[in-house]
Amino acid sequence: MTLYHVHMTLARNEEFPNGSPAHGYDLVVPLDGDMMLDPAAWKAHSKECTVRRFWQGEADQKGLLRHIGRGWAIDYDLSTPEADEPFFKLDRHEFKSGEYLSVTEQDGEMQTFRIVTVEPLKS
């Protein structure tokens, strides 16, 4: 198991026809040999699995990746039992440049993001 830094930016949509590098997420996630999320490794390293949401014109938000029920989500407020932004079928996605991931943001809107880079975390 290796922890990876994943950088993803907003994919094209109505508001941003070319996508937007000024909107996105930086994740630290444990990936297996197939570049899929490794739930057992997450359990052992959950406090290291951080998320940073960057959005032009807004302050960065920092949280943790959480495994809730059968899904994965971003949790910005650890004092509440529910997570803030669920991923769409994150456990079924291969983490590689050019792939897409969807996140339901705090306003309830699902946004699609393109993975730009996936690199082993430097220790």
Tokens encoding 46: 């959950």
User: Is the predicted pLDDT of residue 1 greater than 80, yes or no?
Assistant: no
Per-residue pLDDT, averaged over 79-94, amounts to 81
Give the pLDDT of residue 55: 95
Convert the pLDDT of each residue in 25-80 to its tens digit: 999 999 999 999 999 999 999 999 999 999 999 999 999 999 887 788 888 987 77
CB under 8 Å to 81, separation ≥6 — which residues?
none
Give the pLDDT of residue 123: 64
Rounded (10°) CA dihedral 26, 27, 33, 39: -160
DSSP-assigned beta bridge partners for residue 112: 102
From 70-74, 78-82, 86-90, 98-102, the region with the lowest mean pLDDT: 78-82
Local confidence band at 5 (pLDDT 50, 70, 90 cut-offs) = very high
Cα–Cα distances in angstroms (integers) from residue 83 to residues 24, 33, 72, 80, 104, in the given order: 18, 28, 9, 8, 11
Per-residue pLDDT, averaged over 9-22, amounts to 95
Give the pLDDT of residue 77: 83
Q: How far apart are CA 67 and CA 37, in angstroms?
A: 11
* Cβ atoms 77, 62 nearer than 8 A: no
**Overall pTM surpassing 0.85 (yes/no):** yes
- Domain boundaries in the chain? 2-120
Residue 71's closest CA among 84, 52, 53, 90?
90
Residue 65's closest CA among 84, 89, 93, 40?
84
